Structure 1
Amino acid sequence: MQVSACFPSERWVVVWFVTVFDVGVDISPLVEKIDDPNMANDKDLLQVVRLLDDACREAGFFYVKGHGIAEPLMKEVRDVTHKFFQLPYEEKLKIKMTPQNGYRGYQRLGENITNGKPDMQEAIDYYAPIEPGKYGDLATPMEGTNLWPKYPSNFDALLKNYISLLRDLSRKIMQGIALALGGPVDAFEGRTAGDPFWVCRLIGYPVSTDILEEHRTDTGCGAHTDYGLLTLVNQDDDICALEVKNQSGEWIYAKPIPGTFVCNIGDMLKVWSNGIYQPTLHRVVNNSPRYRVSVAFFYESNFDAAIEPVEFCRERTGGVAKYEKVVYGEHLIKKVLNNFIK
């Protein structure tokens, strides 16, 4: 069953599996105080930690505000993304994604594959730089240089600044999640995510009627979970398209709320937490009569991190590891190679 309309309320909400509660995740106390040596005694910060635990445990998806990223900047990033996708096809192909450049750059419509089916989207993929040989043979398929378009002229400077800000924000949220799981604030540092890999994916979803019928499918992006630790989604304010699957098997719209990020957890956090937190299936269906963009920032573990259930999470879940060790880079490469038409 699919819910046929967006969430009707403009209140701050968390997307739960069963319903929508009038609860906000204002993470400003976390953003402002997580580095304070006395933060363990701060009631406001601890309340944010409790809300993060509830959201990750019950839904795996939630909205965040009070994150410190200016709303005009969020909009400017979406605006330049719109402008790029409005360029002539020949111009976009100047930064075409290929295996030779580490699967970085522009993907044409239908080139991305989810569950064996072409997605009705075009996109640009950016990855954290990987120096040749840094991880031996592990990262060879992902080694390459990010490709920046000539137009819009402010594209690269804007995106590089935005990525830097989201990287810092994501680290702070992960510190809050570490506390929510009962671990130390620096649990994700060091060999787990002390040198976090990141992916920034700029995605455009055309109007379905603008796509030739023989090339058209019913989804902008098929149902999937994300690969890493945490995802922050900056989506157009006025188009409902992102859907989250609840425990009843219903697809629930993650209605855009201006100034917020939609945040969700990924596969590596499931393994690391020994299943205490589970990623949630989500998909994109653009039934709007307008072109939609979404800018998704994926905060990952170290590229070469061997992720396995951490001891204090195993102790909370019966003492036995429920998941085998996963090397993040291997997991990512397998997904990338399966999701791209060569």
Structure 2
Amino acid sequence: MATDFKSLPVIDISPLLLKCDDPDMAEDPGVIQVVQQLDRACRDAGFFYVIGHGISEDLIKKVREITREFFMLPYEEKLKIKMTPAAGYRGYQRIGENVTKGKPDIHEAIDCYREFKQGKYGDLGKAMEGPNQWPENPHEFKELMEEYLRLCTDLSRNILRGIALALGGSPYEFEGKIAGEPFWVMRLIGYPGAPFTNGKLENDVGCGAHTDYGLLTLVNQDEDKTALQVRNLGGDWISAIPIPGSFVCNIGDMLKILSNGLYESTLHRVINNSPLYRVCVAFFYETNFDAVVEPFDICKDKYPEGRGESQVFKRAVYGEHLVSKVQTNFAM
């Protein structure tokens, strides 16, 4: 039974990573312990910190630093990679152009998506076609981000092998037709410092309450500002206080469906109540773009009513879900 969490669990996944390519990983005591922790975190909170993930703290910091450098540039420079529908919704958006549930978010961002050949997904993928728009300034931006993307993709795949075991399947349950060719999204986000009014800090909503679309999210956030908030079952907002070198990890809508509602895609928001500018880099690991997502048979058999609900979750096509969100999330 899910509990009303007051803080997010911290999971050292290094035992899982040591055995993630071993077909017999499910029998390893260290892996079993990590799998149990992942299962509890996904049931109770849908959010957890990941440590022992193997990505260097130096690289994690560099990614935030170079992102901050870009956002400190003049608008004219940033608008060289302006996001438009014609650019496949890839590129830079100004403060207020991202909209959550009809309200402008107080952040600026660069959006990147996995690139694919024109026509690969037919009409389904047409809106998302096009190359990512990488800035020429700062130098080495593209090279650094592509290395980071590669590492985050591998890490996400391996965490999902542990989650697959937690659901009672094989380690490779998410691969093949579900996520053998995973789509990914990366958002490089800058939140202005909270403004002062009459000597008091105001709490601007940097990003309104929402759930993520895909399977798994890795959040790389500034270590000296607390802004990410997660809603628990009682409706309270719990702060995801930064832990240096960690990722905040959460599950998305597609994983909720695949687990037949057992795992929660939890509402979260961002309120930067610091006077300082905040940077966050969010990596979203998704299913195959054209995947038809419906509950795993193991979850329908093992958890026929999901989280105590009488319905089996409906199927969704990931690409349709993403495109519908993208086309309503930007004020253009």
Q: Shorter-chain TM-score category? A: over 0.9
The number of residue pairs the alignment matches comes to 322
Could you give the per-residue CA deviations for residues 250-274 of structure 1, whole angstroms, max 9, x where no partner exists?
1110000001000000000011110
- Report the RMSD for the aligned CA atoms in angstroms: 1.6
Structure 2 CA distance, aligned partners of 1:249 and 1:38?
Answer: 40
User: Residue 314 of structure 2 corresponds to which residue in structure 1?
Assistant: 324
Structure 2 CA distance, aligned partners of 1:315 and 1:227?
Answer: 25
Matched residue type, 1:311: D
Q: 1:224 aligns with which of 210, 214, 228?
A: 210
1:283-298 correspondence runs (5 A) = 283-298=269-284
Q: 1:184 aligns with which of 170, 173, 180?
A: 170
Which 5+ residue runs of structure 2 have no aligned equivalent? none
The structural deviation recorded for 1:181 is 0.3
User: Residue 85 of structure 1 corresponds to which residue in structure 2?
Assistant: 71
Q: 1:274 aligns with which of 243, 247, 260?
A: 260
Matched residue type, 2:247: F
Q: 1:64 aligns with which of 45, 50, 54?
A: 50
Could you give the per-residue CA deviations for residues 150-207 of structure 1, whole angstroms, max 9, x where no partner exists?
1110110000000000000000001110000001111011110000000010000001
Q: 1:334 aligns with which of 321, 324, 328?
A: 324
The structural deviation recorded for 1:40 is 2.4
The structural deviation recorded for 1:38 is 3.1
Taking every aligned residue pair, what percent have the same amino acid on both sides? Answer: 61
Structure 1 CA distance, aligned partners of 2:287 and 2:314?
Answer: 16
Q: Is the 8 A contact 1:274 1:323 kept in 2?
A: yes
Structure 1 CA distance, aligned partners of 2:7 and 2:186?
Answer: 29
Could you give the per-residue CA deviations for residues 134-154 of structure 1, whole angstroms, max 9, x where no partner exists?
011110000011001011101
Structure 1 CA distance, aligned partners of 2:314 and 2:237?
Answer: 30
Which 5+ residue runs of structure 1 have no aligned equivalent? 1-15
Matched residue type, 1:322: V
Structure 2 CA distance, aligned partners of 1:17 and 1:301?
Answer: 29
Q: 1:103 aligns with which of 89, 102, 107?
A: 89
Structure 2 CA distance, aligned partners of 1:64 and 1:81?
Answer: 22
TM-score (norm 2): 0.94
Structure 1 CA distance, aligned partners of 2:68 and 2:129?
Answer: 28
TM-score (norm 1): 0.91
Structure 2 CA distance, aligned partners of 1:17 and 1:77?
Answer: 34
Could you give the per-residue CA deviations for residues 112-146 of structure 1, whole angstroms, max 9, x where no partner exists?
00010000000000000021110111100000110
Q: Is the 8 A contact 2:5 2:44 kept in 1?
A: no
Structure 2 CA distance, aligned partners of 1:43 and 1:24?
Answer: 19
The structural deviation recorded for 1:91 is 0.1
The structural deviation recorded for 1:217 is 8.1
Cα distance 1:115–1:217, how it changes in 2: closer, same or farther (>3 A)?
A: farther
Q: Is the 8 A contact 2:6 2:238 kept in 1?
A: no
Q: 1:28 aligns with which of 2, 7, 14?
A: 14
Structure 2 CA distance, aligned partners of 1:262 and 1:40?
Answer: 24
Q: Is the 8 A contact 1:236 1:293 kept in 2?
A: yes
Matched residue type, 2:300: R
Q: Is the 8 A contact 1:304 1:329 kept in 2?
A: yes
